[in-house]
Amino acid sequence: MSKRIGVLASEQAVHRREEAVARREKALRAQEEAAMSKAELIAHNQAQLREANEHLVVATVRAQMMTEVAEQATLRMSYMAKHDFLTGLPNRSLLTDRLTQSMALAQRHGKKVALLYLDLDHFKHINDSLGHAVGDQLLQSAAKRLQACVRLSDTVCRQGGDEFVVLLAEVQTVQDAHLAAKKLIKAMAEPYYIGSHRLHVTPSIGISLYPDHGQDVETVVKNADIAMYHAKRSGRNTYQVFAPEMNVRAVMRHSVHQALHHALEQHLFLLHYQPKVNLETGAMTGAEALVRLRQADHRLVGPTDFMSIAENSGLILPIGQWVLREACRQTAAWLQAGLDIGLIAVNVSMVEFRDKNFIAGVRAILNDTGLDPRHLELELTESSLMQDTETTTAVLCALKDLGVRLAIDDFGTGYSSLSYLRRFPINTLKIDQSFVQDIDGDTGEAVLISAIIAMGKSLKLGIVAEGIETGPQFAFLQSQHCAEGQGYYFSRPVAAEAFATLLATGPHQQAMAF
Ligand code: C2E
Ligand code: MG
Ligand code: MG
């Protein structure tokens, strides 16, 4: 029994020990587990921290980049606000800043500032005939040339279109501005090679000085612009320095421009007709239509008083369309009434001839008025033909295809190239009246006329002498076998009703000399 009790006791003791071991193991495991999740937690926390840190770095970098982008965009925007996108030159706004600064400095140093306002002659024709891409490249090349001509302290800016301004920051006298203008004209004279084109473009430059011609930015710029307009009027490819009397003419230019607008709206244009005569027989061969403007007091204003303003403002396009339509309408009406007018000649200015809608306009007018194209002769000037001869040839051929005749007006005053004269499909040369009027003197014009007549004959062109005023002029032209003539000697240009009478009865008294 005591043995049995002893065994039981030791079994219990073993059991207790085992239980104690199990408890300790459990506690140890719990401890281990606790220890493990703490490490994991730390690792987890560290990973989160790292991630957050990375996010922070990325965000900081992003923020930095965005600031830089924003700064660049701001810089770019302020650059663009002050520069021209096509040429990269300073624009009108930056010019104003620089001119203001230069004027303040010049005043302090007792010097002058010169402003050269430059416009490319007939640039529109290049744009119209060769397209904007060529025009843009030409502007970029012109901008580079201008910049190469001036000092670093000077500013070349693009005012817009084909207008540039050169600001000479410190000049001593007006002579410095003259020299700069001459240098610019010379630099621009070199041909431009753009794609397959060899282009010539000349500038007209107006100069105004601070403080001589204006005390503030606006006046200095305005006066340089006015002087530029005068450079254009005095033949282009030249420069003019501002003079106060130019202002008066600028006002006139403005009012003529308004008058032309008004005349178009109110139908105040009218045509006069001057007969052309066969110098051998005295028969009337046709007439030239010449535009006039009727003023409020019924006085008539001739084209020499408004044509250049009409051309420079582009108003010549609607005016020219009206002239052509009216001349064709009237001629068709005369023909229908049995009055054989022969040819009606209509003047076409260079701006019209270079306009891309010109051919379509002529075609539409012929269609609308029903005039047989063989009765229409278009008078073009040498200067419109000799520019961009490739386009000229294409336009002339298209007109020829319409069936109209083509004449070169004021022949001898421009620079026709003989080879082109042969190549262009021209029918008639009109000898400029300045030659005819000098026949009586001994300036050698008579020899020149004989030469032109001989040349015209060899090229199989009709010849018309313009501006015949006297018997001796008429006699000389007859002796040279000049085919046709036109001038006060036969008849002045007259209104349509008077011309209808002429058509019915033959030209003026003087023609009795035949
Ligand atoms: P043009 O085409 O050479 O026209 C001849 C000009 O000489 C006309 O002047 C005419 O009146 C004038 N004339 C004619 N015979 C004589 C004469 O014996 N002696 C003198 N001293 N002059 C004579 P007008 O009408 O003043 O026209 C001047 C120019 O204006 C024209 O020269 C022409 O280039 C332009 N023109 C006239 N009408 C138009 C038109 O409808 N469209 C365009 N684009 N130009 C026109
Ligand atoms: Mg004419
Ligand atoms: Mg003429």
Out of 306, 347, 432, mutate this one to test ligand 1's pocket (max ligand atoms within 8 Å of CB): namely 347
Taking the centre of ligand 2 as the mean of its atom positions, its distance from the CA of residue 513, in whole angstroms, is 25
Q: How confident is the model at residue 358 (pLDDT cuts 50, 70, 90)?
A: very high
Q: Same structural domain for residues 368 and 329?
A: yes
Is residue 493 lining ligand 1, measured as CB closer than 6 Å? Answer: yes
DSSP symbols for 188-214: HHS-EEETTEEE---EEEEEEEETTT-
Q: Same structural domain for residues 140 and 204?
A: yes
Q: How many CB atoms lie within 10 A of CB 325?
A: 18
Judge whether 378 and 358 are in contact, CB under 8 Å: no
Is the pLDDT at 346 greater than 80? The verdict is: yes
Residue 303 lies inside a defined structural domain of this protein: no
Is the pLDDT at 176 greater than 60? The verdict is: yes
pTM listed for this prediction: 0.62
Say which amino acid occupies 450: S
Judge whether 471 and 489 are in contact, CB under 8 Å: yes
Q: Same structural domain for residues 437 and 348?
A: yes
Q: Same structural domain for residues 49 and 156?
A: no
Is residue 469 lining ligand 1, measured as CB closer than 6 Å? Answer: yes
Residue 431 lies inside a defined structural domain of this protein: yes
**At which residue do the structure tokens 């020829």 appear?**
400
Is residue 290 lining ligand 1, measured as CB closer than 6 Å? Answer: yes
Evaluate the CA torsion angle 351, 404, 430, 426 in order and state its sign: positive
The tens digit of pLDDT for each residue in 114-172 reads 999 999 988 887 887 788 899 999 999 999 999 999 999 999 999 989 999 999 998 99
Which ligand lies nearest the alpha carbon of 378? 2
Q: Same structural domain for residues 231 and 121?
A: yes
d(CA 170, CA 181): 15
Q: How many CB atoms lie within 10 A of CB 65?
A: 10
Q: Which domain covers residue 98, as residue numbers?
A: 92-241
b/e sequence 74-108, b meaning 16+ C-beta within 10 Å: eeeeeeeebbbeebebbbeebbbebbeebbeebee
Taking the centre of ligand 3 as the mean of its atom positions, its distance from the CA of residue 229, in whole angstroms, is 25
Angle, alpha carbons 45-50-55 (nearest 5°): 125
Residue 71 lies inside a defined structural domain of this protein: yes
Q: Same structural domain for residues 350 and 429?
A: yes
Angle, alpha carbons 82-121-96 (nearest 5°): 25
Q: Same structural domain for residues 97 and 58?
A: no
Residue 250 lies inside a defined structural domain of this protein: no
CATH code at position 401: 3.20.20.450
Q: Same structural domain for residues 354 and 489?
A: yes
Residue 246 lies inside a defined structural domain of this protein: no
Residue 268 lies inside a defined structural domain of this protein: no
On the 0-12 / 13-18 / 19+ scale of CB atoms within 10 A, 60 is: exposed
Domain end, chosen from 40, 60, 82, is at 82
The tens digit of pLDDT for each residue in 375-408 reads 999 999 988 888 788 899 999 999 999 999 999 9
Reported as half-sphere exposure (CB side, CA atoms, 13 A), residue 4 has a value of 1
Q: Same structural domain for residues 142 and 285?
A: no
DSSP state of 83: B
Ligand 1 atom with minimal separation from the 381 CA: 34
Taking the centre of ligand 3 as the mean of its atom positions, its distance from the CA of residue 432, in whole angstroms, is 6
From the list 355, 419, 407, the residue with the least C-alpha distance to 381 is: 407
On the 0-12 / 13-18 / 19+ scale of CB atoms within 10 A, 278 is: middle
Judge whether 143 and 164 are in contact, CB under 8 Å: yes
Q: Same structural domain for residues 176 and 324?
A: no
Is residue 90 lining ligand 1, measured as CB closer than 6 Å? Answer: no
d(CA 389, CA 410): 19
Domain end, chosen from 82, 113, 132, is at 82
Residue 262 lies inside a defined structural domain of this protein: no
On the 0-12 / 13-18 / 19+ scale of CB atoms within 10 A, 333 is: middle
The tens digit of pLDDT for each residue in 422-471 reads 899 999 999 999 899 888 776 677 888 999 999 999 999 999 999 999 99
Judge whether 420 and 449 are in contact, CB under 8 Å: no
Q: Same structural domain for residues 212 and 106?
A: yes
> What's the distance, CA 256 to chain centroid?
22
Q: Same structural domain for residues 369 and 494?
A: yes
Is residue 347 lining ligand 1, measured as CB closer than 6 Å? Answer: yes
CATH code at position 162: 3.30.70.270
Can you tell me the mean pLDDT for 73-96? 88
Indicate the number of domains in the chain. Answer: 3
Residue 87 lies inside a defined structural domain of this protein: no
Domain end, chosen from 63, 82, 101, is at 82
Judge whether 486 and 274 are in contact, CB under 8 Å: yes
Ligand 1 atom with minimal separation from the 327 CA: 41
Taking the centre of ligand 2 as the mean of its atom positions, its distance from the CA of residue 200, in whole angstroms, is 27
Structure tokens, 436: 């005819």
pLDDT at 512: 46
